Structure 1
Amino acid sequence: MAYPDKLLHEDEEVVQHLHPHWLTVFWPVVRFLLVVGAASFGTAMVPTGRQQGLIRLLVLVVALALLAVLVLVPLLRWRTTHYVITTHRLLFRTGILARRGRDIGLSRITDVSFRQSLWDRIIRSGTLTIESAGDGGATVLRQIPDSEGVQQLLNHMIEEDADRRAQESAGHLGEYYGPWRTETQQPL
């Protein structure tokens, strides 16, 4: 079972599954090109001689270490960060080796706001701040693609969740109390 489906309850469905905005991987890609270019140039510039193989190997090891730190880690961080909106809750998971997450029931969310700088508006990204009932404090989700649209979607899902809960509650009350009027009562 694929992520996030393995986290869902029986009657819960994924409405939207997001990662941070794709531009968060822009600089790691630029760094990849720079490191590969510099390593290629460095190995080509090594003078011929007894130490040529050793120096080229050293350049390659340094390039691989830089690629791991400057490229691989940010790409994995982007890939392992999940923002999932379901019909019942908001799930937030992040982390490569050590994981961190938070689930917020839609019924507990009291406020959803977004913030965009001029650059964020140009690239259609932004920051969501989600206030919820309880002592967990505000949850801040950065680099959300289409943050304004996600904020509107969350508000819509909160309303739908409230309606669903009200209908379930009314159905349970009807089962508990039974019909309000018996067959023997006649209207006036």
Structure 2
Amino acid sequence: MGLPAKLLGTGEQELLHLRSHGKTMIKPTIWLVVVAALFGAVFAMLPVGWRPVSGWVVTLLAVALAIPVYLLPLLRWRTTTYTLTNHRLITRSGIITKVGHDVPVSRISNVTYERSLSDRMFGCGSLVFTTSAEAPVVLYDIPKVEEVGVAISNLLFGVRA
């Protein structure tokens, strides 16, 4: 699902719509499993005479801890998108407060990518856009970063696929 048509200008076409690679959810998922195991062990050690009230208390505490540990990173990941059109690079993020940044394609002077060892294992990387007026725009953990970089370079230098 890309940007709604009402957010695109006249004659503007969406070329790519991306979000960060799912690898960004590995740590939150591990923490969620740890929280579940910890609270499961606590629940198992509670005296039977304290149940069911103690079970509800433990469950509420586990859910309260799972929200910042897993749910917020998941929502952050789902609400952060990167869209490339034939006119601009559009970044959107935010769960409650939405933040957007648009860079005209004509202002992008260089596209580079960076891939760490873990990025190479997961098939992703970071794209760095150097613009003529601003600090570089960095898009982290982009899937198939080399292919995306080539597509963007083709757009910038006028090569049509």
TM-score w.r.t. length of structure 1: 0.77
Distance 1:149 1:121 in 2: 13
Cα 1:139–1:105, aligned 2, differ >3 Å: closer, same or farther? same
Q: Which residue of 2 aligns with 1:16?
A: 16
Of the two structures, which has the highest relative contact order with CA contacts closer than 8 Å and spacing of 6 or more?
2
Of 144-153 and 103-112, deviating more is 144-153
Matched, 1:41 2:41: yes
SS at match of 2:158: helix
Instruction: Give the distance between the partners of 1:18 and 1:3, measured in 2 at CA.
Output: 8
Aligned mates of 1:84, 1:141 — CA distance in 2: 11
Correspondences of 1:1-188 after superposition (within 5 Å)? 4-5=3-4, 6-49=6-49, 51-134=50-133, 136-160=134-158
* Structure whose CA Rg is larger: 1
Gaps of 5+ in 1: 164-188
SS for the counterpart of 2:16 is: strand
Q: Identity, % of aligned pairs?
A: 33
Shift in Å, 1:114: 0.7
Write the distance in 2 (CA, Å) between the matches of 1:19 and 1:73. Answer: 16
SS of 1:160's partner is coil
1:32 CA displacement = 2.5
CA deviation after TM superposition for structure 1 residue 27, in Å = 2.2
Q: Distance in 2 between matches of 1:32 and 1:118?
A: 25
Cα shift at 1:34: 2.8
- What code does the residue aligned with 1:141 have? L
State the 1:3 CA deviation. Answer: 5.0
| CA–CA separation in structure 1 for the residues paired with 2:2 and 2:54 | 44
Residue by residue, what CA displacement relative to the aligned partner does 1:72-95 show, whole Å, maximum 9, x if unpaired?
Answer: 000000000101111111101111
Structure 1 runs, 4 residues or longer, greater than 6 Å off:
none
Cα deviation, 1:107-160, whole Å, max 9, x if unaligned, reads 1101111111122112111111111122x3111111111112111111111123
Q: Distance in 2 between matches of 1:150 and 1:104?
A: 17
Secondary structure of 2:48's counterpart equals: coil
Residue of structure 2 equivalent to 1:178: none
Q: Which runs of 5+ in 2 are unaligned?
A: none
**Matched position secondary structure for 1:68:** helix
Q: How many residues align structurally?
A: 159
